[in-house]
Chain A
């Protein structure tokens, strides 16, 4: 199968959907001629023109609000938010307006919009350009949240997001834009709420999201050499969350480590760990462990930044401890 970059996969997904459905348009900063700073959207304005690939001023709350209004009235907008960190600017429009319109209207209003943005540290971009804020939107009922972990997922999830009738926030890992993966030429969609088992195993389940999927796969490889068989599960969407696949895996392995790049406290890793603890407690041989970003703003200095994000070695160490039955701090 051909291999394409994650950037190209996103580009293809948007282009294919825009060809299919004339109600789709895209708006954001430097999306047209510049094709975004990460060059993800290059070529789209040439094909679809500036009426459908719309450059905006640097007015995030404004253009997200405009997308909500357009979505309510028959358009299917895709908003490009250059950095996930800018979510903080658009929270009212996204969380008070887009997320609640269907419910508050008793099901009468529809907000079929996609907000595509990114997450991920270790790009030396400091505290306001490095955050992984998916937990923030996953907390708000009414928003769906997709976390592609490779070019394949990025394309399939984007196409599903565009066809979905609810607001979807899709986070790409900005370190992965140039990473290639096999992506079929033929059309495919990835349904929301279906986790992927990326590696089968018996001894421990690694539930990993987005940027942490590669980290966990690398860890599983190292563990395999030590005779430890790790299963890697990628939820792909955290809202909706495919609990069944995660729980079935944990029931099989009896051990679970959740790996996610959001902050550790009150985050996605906590939510998934809680669900496992609630629903598979009697199958567990050890407390569920979490690996996440430290609870600090992302520091600029490489010497510090690299300490804040889980690595494959961290996952391996956690798995070893768990398999040795070392449980500290657990009552």
Chain B
């Protein structure tokens, strides 16, 4: 493939990764300045995984995401304003402030939601794939999960069914080498890919810091899944730059500082892809700087917007529990006889 023929696509890969980085830098800043309620998990460092996979999908395809979900959400086409509003618990957020960082869902773009239960979306992703097959929609589902989710039995139940029923689903395991404060080797016995292979699922390993490699593989697998050749399992080697969550600052006891430095300095997916673009003559340094500045401006504007936005009004608290309002007990925390 001639690199320069795909200039627009390449620049989009770059820009989408830069958008995630800009989003996360702002989210982290909101936490540090005590403007964000609760905690959040940064996706920084793993951008090539979400972008490489999601850029192989159509808007009508589905993803399921994780507690570390901002990157998946942005990569699947979400807008900054609604995302930052959600992070701050504002009414204009994707979930009207009800979900927050760990539960952002973006129905319009096929994001079925982040999930605060590790492995909790494996069934949902597989169900979405079953539904697509039954309804003949042609949609493919990508199920994002971390190496830690390999501990969850649910994953093996649903991979078995997906294989039996040849479902259009790609299980994307983001191996960032840690689940919380524990290294993957201490949590997962044996060969990780062999687990999926045992069900007869075709498995692949790819460098999760190389957006082109991820995207090429993803395009191939998604096209094949659409033709009924799924499911697939992909193990992506990657790294989270920050702590497990924004508050995880002193982490040398479980993760060496020089390891962090090595990944940041030599395996930054955005920097490395930028160098490649320059080397291939697809973009010059100025163009890349311009992209970075543009997405950072966009993020800053969205943050300012979200900070000024309104919280949901009190009466929304018992909305959305059921499709039929009035199904729940009308008594709030207050006495219903008072």
Contacts and interface: CB of A to CB of B under 8 A. Distances in A.
B337 A327 contact: yes
Contacts, number: 167
Classify chain B: how many residues form its interface, as a range.
Answer: 35 or more
B188 A308 contact: no
Given A55-B186, A58-B152, A329-B337, A126 B253 contact: no
Interface string B137-179: 0000000000011111100000000000000000000000001
A303 B101 CA distance: 16
Contacts of A329: 336-338
Given A59-B153, A61-B153, A328-B338, A34 B89 contact: no
A97 to B, nearest CB: 15
A328 B38 CA distance: 38
Interface string A312-324: 0010011001100
Helix, strand, loop or mixed for chain A's interface?
loop
Contacts of B335: 289-291, 318, 321
A299 interface: yes
A126 B38 contact: yes
Nearest to B314: A307
B336 A304 contact: no
A291 B336 CA distance: 9
A124 interface: yes
B180 to A, nearest CB: 5
B100 interface: yes
A74 interface: no
Nearest to B330: A295
A283 to B, nearest CB: 18
A127 interface: yes
B117 interface: yes
Given A126-B100, A292-B333, A297 B151 contact: no
Interface in A50-86: 55-59, 61-62, 85-86
Contacts of A128: 102-103, 115-117, 120
Contacts of A291: 333-335
B311 interface: yes
Given A58-B152, A294-B317, A295-B328, A301 B334 contact: no
B200 interface: no
A297 B321 contact: yes
Contacts of B90: 301
Contact of B37 (A300, A326, A327): A300
A296 B97 contact: no
Contact of A296 (B86, B149, B321): B321
B116 A294 contact: no
Contacts of A294: 317-318, 332-333
Contacts of B312: 301, 303-304
Contacts of A124: 37-38, 89, 100
Interface in A257-294: 264-265, 287, 289-294
B98 interface: yes
Nearest to B95: A300
A151 interface: no
B119 interface: yes
A307 B222 CA distance: 45
A172 interface: no
B5 interface: no
Interface of A: 29-30, 33-34, 37, 55-59, 61-62, 85-86, 89, 123-129, 264-265, 287, 289-297, 299-304, 307-310, 314, 317-318, 321-322, 326-330
Q: Which 3 A-B pairs have the closest CB atoms?
A: A300-B100, A301-B89, A124-B38
